[in-house]
Amino acid sequence: MKNNIENLKYITLKVVELSVSVASYIKKESLNFLIENIEAKSRNNFVTHVDKEAERLLVTGLTALISDAGFITEEGTAENQGQEYCWIIDPLDGTSNFIHNSTPYAISIALKYKNELLVGVIHEITRNESFYSWKGGKAYLNGKTIKVSNTKNVSDALISTGRPHNYMEQYALLLNLMDYFLQNTHGIRQSGSAASDLAYVACGRYDGRYEFGLKQWDMAAGILIIKQAGGQVCDFMGENNYFENGSLIASNSELYIELRDTIKNIFQENMFL
């Protein structure tokens, strides 16, 4: 497969079409979904037949698009067996919102070549919004170019975060971060969908986002879209090891350094608590 811009654009738009199609299935299932049908993978980590079927549909469609690509999937429908091209999929990010008939929830799809992100698509299902980008391209929302906000200071920012499934393992860090941003920003939001929140950073609805305990499928697409929209990302140590350690800071470029340094300092203070 060629990694030129036109080919990546073609692939991205095909992935958008696929995500919209699978979103229709998810919306249809939401009309008659019963909370009794959920399964618990672990504490506060749920899966439904909708997650599994949506992932199967995505894997089938993406395999038709690039036949020799591997997969990293949340529900284990397919796997990477050493292929250079790899799809990273979350078929339903925000399952807890879905099962409680709340919002938002989204499909998140990224394509990487070795360790380089090439394509990112997030389809926020409840608002029918497709956020997408490709390497070398701009970032888009339903066909219109998007950019991150231009807020310059954390004190003027609206910040989003999430509660990791394993939050009790670093409970002090969770509370101390929350306490700081409650007191020192315009507000903090916790929507329940990391992918949706990252898309909202890319289009300027949020000025920044942070969370630990993430998986690749939670953040891969959002990372690329934010970068192409003019933003920046790093892990809690200010490095680019977010896929390895599961921590992520994302924001516009104006307040990136302040947000990064603030979170890094709080993280380091809590490492030995």
DSSP secondary structure, 186-252, as one string: SEEE--S-HHHHHHHHHTTSSSEEEESS--HHHHHHHHHHHHHTTEEEE-TTSSS-HHHH--EEEEE
Q: Is the pLDDT of residue 273 over 50?
A: no
Is the model more confident about 33 or about 56?
Answer: 56
Domain boundaries, the chain: 5-145, 154-270
- What pairs with residue 248 in β-bridges? 211
End-to-end CA distance of the chain: 48
Q: Is the pLDDT of residue 238 over 90?
A: yes
Sequence-distant (≥ 6) Cβ neighbours of residue 175 within 8 angstroms: none
pLDDT of residue 265: 96
Q: Is the pLDDT of residue 74 over 90?
A: no
pLDDT of residue 270: 87
Angle 125-244-261 from CA coordinates, rounded to 5°: 85
150, 143 in Cβ contact below 8 A?
Answer: no
Task: Kindly report which listed range (165-169, 207-211, 223-227) carries the lowest average pLDDT score.
Answer: 165-169
DSSP 8-state symbol, 84: S
Q: Is the pLDDT of residue 44 over 50?
A: no
Sequence-distant (≥ 6) Cβ neighbours of residue 16 within 8 angstroms: 121, 123, 130, 132
129-134 and 139-141 strand pairing: antiparallel
- pLDDT, mean of residues 216-220: 97
pLDDT of residue 86: 96
pLDDT of residue 45: 47
CATH class of 154-270: alpha beta
Residue 226 token pair: 């934010």
CATH architecture of 5-145: 2-Layer Sandwich (3.30)
pLDDT of residue 37: 60
- pLDDT, mean of residues 224-236: 98
CA distances 203 to 35, 66, 134, 145, 222, Å, are 33, 29, 15, 9, 11
